[in-house]
């Protein structure tokens, strides 16, 4: 089975679908004929989607068709991640209780917000890298002080200038397997015009969970944050990469929050040419890969379809796709070489690309431990 076929099979297993229909019958036949599950598991592990794969097959009523040895593996990974997420949630309750005691009501972001709001049928389906919470910037020093007094500490400072980052240095607990990021801003400062932190805080909704008070972003904000973080902040659109876990979560968000998302407002925020295309490419990927219905009234242009085609080539043939993207940009290089501001911007972009690719390698190490 080729890399492209493995991608197609994994995404079809994860796709949003009912328990009936011709498409489901075809998927049932493909599962019964599948002989290279190790390739599927390797790809799923690379994108931190193995627990979600187990949950999606079970939701479709197809998990029983998987051979017993492979099914045991899926069940084991889901069980382990369920236990891990339970530890994350216990620690979240403890952290929020400490913050509430000093008058801070944090806003939960990204994966931890998805767990708290029940986005996934089984809480074990979502793999968390860390706990992301937003606190008012003026309270950040006090919050860090409180958490350090309860067993949290940070790694020795490296090359990163944390004073200009959108979150404080990650905090690690001395006895719990939890990484915590306190955000002063939701996104990078150059992206604040698209998603202002003040608006995220003002439009968030209050929840009381296990006796502590937290907030979650409004539906439109959650969807926009997912797009901006993956496509622009992590550079996936510029590099024509796909963070499959984020696209999958985006798809689930769109389904769960259908009717409450202001797509016109999202389009308006992504007002520049490249940034509007980043949304359209993201939507096309979710439609093709996970069966998302295109929002009514949104039109996709030819340039976005071409960019989405480049994304698919990089998904299906990573090495060829990588060189194709840079070959398309090569004619602009002479002009950039004589532009002084290009050099610091390029250094920042290369550092960010390295960080993204390092994150893409991390799931393989986690999969080996599992």
Of the ranges 141-145, 268-272, 331-335, the best mean pLDDT one: 141-145
| pLDDT at residue 341 greater than cutoff 90 | no
- Rounded distance between C-alpha atoms, residue 308 and residue 305, angstroms: 5
pLDDT in the model for residue 154 = 83
Q: Determine the average pLDDT of the residues in 342-364.
A: 66
Q: What is the pLDDT of residues 230-259, one digit of tens each?
A: 999 988 888 888 899 999 999 999 999 998
Sign of CA dihedral 199, 260, 194, 108: positive
What percent of the chain shows pLDDT beyond 90? 60
- Rounded distance between C-alpha atoms, residue 216 and residue 102, angstroms: 19
Taking all residues of the chain, what is their mean pLDDT, rounded to a whole number?
Answer: 87
| pLDDT at residue 344 greater than cutoff 50 | yes
State the pLDDT confidence band at 335, using cuts at 50, 70 and 90: confident
Task: For 359, list phi and psi in degrees, rounded to 5.
Answer: -60, -35
- Rounded distance between C-alpha atoms, residue 211 and residue 102, angstroms: 15
pLDDT in the model for residue 228 = 95
Looking at the whole model, is its pTM more than 0.95? no
Q: Determine the average pLDDT of the residues in 167-173.
A: 88
């Amino acid at each position: 089975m080729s890399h492209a076929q493995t991608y197609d099979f994994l995404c079809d297993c994860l796709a949003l679908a009912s328990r009936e229909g011709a498409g489901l019958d075809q998927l049932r036949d493909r599962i019964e004929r599948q002989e290279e599950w190790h390739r599927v598991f390797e790809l799923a592990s690379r994108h931190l989607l193995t627990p979600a794969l187990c949950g999606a097959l079970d939701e479709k009523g197809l998990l029983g068709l998987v051979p017993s040895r492979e099914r045991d593996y899926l069940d084991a990974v889901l069980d382990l991640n369920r236990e891990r997420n339970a530890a994350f949630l216990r620690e979240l309750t403890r952290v929020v209780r400490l913050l509430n005691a000093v008058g801070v009501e944090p806003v939960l972001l990204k994966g931890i917000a998805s767990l708290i709001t029940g986005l996934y049928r089984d809480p074990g389906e979502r793999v968390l890298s860390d706990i992301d919470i937003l606190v008012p910037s003026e309270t950040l020093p006090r919050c860090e002080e409180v958490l350090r007094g309860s067993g949290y500490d940070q790694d020795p400072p490296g090359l990163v200038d944390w004073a200009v980052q959108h979150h404080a240095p990650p905090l690690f607990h001395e006895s719990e397997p939890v990484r915590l990021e306190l955000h002063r801003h939701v996104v990078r400062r150059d992206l604040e015009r698209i998603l202002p932190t003040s608006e995220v805080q003002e439009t968030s909704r209050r929840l009381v969970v296990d006796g502590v008070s937290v907030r979650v972003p409004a539906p439109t904000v959650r969807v926009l944050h997912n797009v901006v973080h993956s496509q622009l902040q992590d550079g996936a659109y510029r590099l024509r990469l796909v963070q499959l876990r984020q696209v999958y979560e985006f798809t689930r968000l769109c389904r769960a929050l259908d009717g409450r998302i202001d797509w016109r407002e999202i389009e308006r925020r992504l007002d520049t040419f490249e940034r509007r295309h980043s949304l359209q490419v993201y939507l096309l990927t979710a439609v093709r890969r996970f069966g998302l219905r295109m929002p009514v009234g949104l039109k996709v242009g030819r340039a976005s379809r071409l960019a989405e085609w480049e994304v698919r080539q990089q998904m299906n043939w990573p090495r060829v796709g990588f060189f194709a993207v840079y070959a398309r940009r090569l004619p602009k290089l002479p002009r950039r070489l004589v532009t002084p501001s290009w050099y610091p911007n390029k250094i920042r972009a290369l550092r960010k690309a390295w960080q993204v690719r390092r994150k893409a390698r991390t799931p393989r190490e986690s999969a080996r431990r599992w």
